[in-house]
Amino acid sequence: QLQLQESGPGLLKPSETLSLTCTVSGGSISGSTYYWGWIRQPPGKGLEWIGTIDYSGSTYYNPSLKSRVTISVDTSNNQFSLNLNSVTAADTAVYFCARALPSATGINWFDPWGKGTLVTVSS
Amino acid sequence: SFVLTQPPSVSVVPGNTARITCGGNNIGSKSVHWYQQKPGQAPVLVIYYDNDRPSGIPERFSGSNSGNTATLTISRVEAGDEADYYCQVWDSSNYHVVFGGGTKLTVL
């Protein structure tokens, strides 16, 4: 059964870079036809897609975050990562990683999801 | 960019049918996926490709999609169905994922 687990610092100061890693177990990222994505959820608010990547490094990013986001993949460790620079309090959220099914033109649905990790940005 | 509009809340009596809508411009031309999220938990896929159910999701969950509205229908609602529900599509014009704002389902 495929499982995903987020890891990384839970507290950042404004202007720092958020770095999270998603470790995939029960299946391999390498050579997979799937995409791998990041989604976040500010406290008490809805879901916001951040971006997705496939095993070869092909990416899609949310246009509203694209200037600050980098998603990368490490097939040797079966992980993919999120970097979000110049964070502010508005980036405080639970960050989820998930597997995404590709479509003919991009992405279909996300399943399964990791449990999520809370990242707080505060001075 | 493409916008998905959901009602903030829907209430239903146990045993009745709940319908949660997801509105978008010509959404019927897109594939819609639905997630259930309970407090403190990650979202769980309950419907994909408008009306397909992943294994383990009860038959009480179904979906439809036509024109400008997609609908998630939960029949014979149970207390355990109380959760937030999100619709999601792929905006192929702008190459990005779009989520609806979410609907809180309250079981009275």
Dump pLDDT digits (tens) for A86-120: 999 999 999 999 999 998 888 999 999 999 999 99
Q: How far apart (Å, rounded) are the C-alpha atoms in residues A33 and A101?
A: 8
Check residue A39 and give its pLDDT: 98
- Contacts of residue B41, defined as CB under 8 A and 6 or more positions apart, other chains included, come to A115
Q: How do residues A11-49 score in pLDDT, each as one tens digit? A: 999 999 999 999 999 999 887 789 999 999 999 999 999
Of residues A121 and A57, more confidently modeled: A121
- pLDDT score for B40: 96
Gap between the Cα atoms of A113 and A90, Å rounded:
23
Backbone angles phi, psi at B81, to 5 degrees: -85, -10
CA proximity to A54, closest of A39, A32, A76, A70? A32
Other residues' Cβ atoms within 10 Å of the Cβ of residue B95? 13
Q: How many CA atoms lie within 13 A of B69 on its CB side?
A: 8
Contact B97 A107 (CB under 8 A): yes
According to the model, what pLDDT value does residue A104 have?
A: 86
Which of A1, A5, A47 should we substitute to test contact with B (largest number of B Cβ atoms within 10 Å)? A47
pLDDT at B85 over 80: yes
Distance CA A73, CA A15 (A): 24
B30-52: pLDDT as tens digits? 999 999 999 999 999 999 999 99
- Asked if A55 reaches chain B (Cβ–Cβ under 8 Å), the answer is no
Res B87 pLDDT > 80:
yes
3-class SS letters over A80-110: EEEEECCCCHHHCEEEEEEEEEECCCCEEEE
CB contact under 8 A, A96 and B43: yes
Burial of B106 (0-12, 13-18, 19+ CB in 10 A): exposed
The CA radius of gyration of chain B, in Å to the nearest whole number, is: 13
* Surface of A (25-54) touching B: CB under 8 A: 37, 39, 46-49, 52
Closest CA to B72 of B25, B23, B38: B23
Dihedral sign for Cα B12, B18, B22, B26, please.
negative
Neighbours of A122 (CB within 10 A): 9
